[in-house]
Amino acid sequence: MVVDKSNPRVQRMFAEIAGKYDRMNHLLSMNVDRWWRRQTVRTVPPRGVAPILDVCTGTGDLAFAYHRAAGGKAPVIGVDFCREMLDVAEAKKQRSYAAADICFSEADAQDLPFENDRFQIVSVAFGLRNVADTDQGLREMVRVCQPGGRVAILEFTMPRRQPLRGLYGWYFRRVLPHVGQWLARNDQSAYNYLPESVGDFPQYEQLTERMIAAGLREATFYPLTFGVATLYVGSK
């Protein structure tokens, strides 16, 4: 089955759930998503004052995590093509980061409005699988990353080992969509789309091979929480 990841569909879907997105993430992951982001920042920490870019930033949680880690020394930019999600990020910024060197702007991950070799880190959390052309998204992330910089991709995966793989697969495909859809109540079936998009997305070695093909010198991955999520890291 081909998953519809067209820009209009994905934009509408996330626009409908933007106001509930953070609460649903924390609820459905039992707050483990916060730890995944912290691990991303620990594994790929800021170095120096060069800027950091968070692609498909959504409501900005990973961008905020990188700003805290940088201690205000490196500017952080978060981009997303869904205005409603960015509005939530801006509201969070005004509540807690009013004077922070962090900004959000509207942009498509497939056509980033930045010059080559600008950012020390280019990150994305749970967003690359929503990009219509995965390889083009990867190429753009690599293009704007500095030589010697790093690309960090945090994404859902299916555990490899049984019986966890079977049990999690049953929860992910049979339980989570119904609970999420009931709580979020959106027309675009965001929580039915979630397991579909994860199942359709390259995982583990498949994704690291595509990262290298996109121009990274090396790439590796770190399964988190028994493989429920995985952090992929590549160097330019």
pLDDT tens-digit series, residues 84-135 = 999 999 999 998 765 578 999 999 999 999 999 999 999 999 999 999 999 9
Residue linked to tokens 């961008």: 63
Task: Quickly state the pLDDT bin for 185 (edges 50, 70, 90).
Answer: low
Find the helix packing angle between 7-17 and 21-28, rounded to 10°.
80
Residue 167 pLDDT: 76
Is the Cβ–Cβ distance between 216 and 234 less than 8 Å? Answer: yes
Is the Cβ–Cβ distance between 118 and 236 less than 8 Å? Answer: no
What pLDDT digit, counting tens, does each position of 17-47 carry?
Answer: 888 888 877 876 778 999 999 999 999 999 9
Strand order in the sheet with 52-55: 102-106, 76-80, 52-55, 119-125, 145-156, 229-235, 218-224
Is the Cβ–Cβ distance between 106 and 11 less than 8 Å? Answer: no
The answer regarding whether domain 7-235 maps to CATH 3.20.20.100 reads no
What pLDDT digit, counting tens, does each position of 149-162 carry?
Answer: 999 999 999 888 88
Pairing of strands 119-125, 52-55: parallel
CA-to-CA dists, residue 196 to 24, 87, 164, angstroms = 18, 27, 19
Pairwise CA distance, residues 143 & 122, whole Å: 10
E strands along 6-62, which residues?
52-55
Pairwise CA distance, residues 105 & 107, whole Å: 6
Q: Mean pLDDT in the chain? A: 89
pTM above 0.95, yes or no: no
pLDDT at 188 over 50: no
Mean pLDDT of 48-71: 96
**Nearest to 107, CA basis, from 128, 79, 142:** 79
78/160: higher pLDDT: 78
114 has which bridge partners? Answer: none
Residues found in the chain: 236
Domain residue ranges of the chain, discontinuous segments joined by +: 7-235
Pairwise CA distance, residues 218 & 211, whole Å: 8
Pairing of strands 76-80, 102-106: parallel
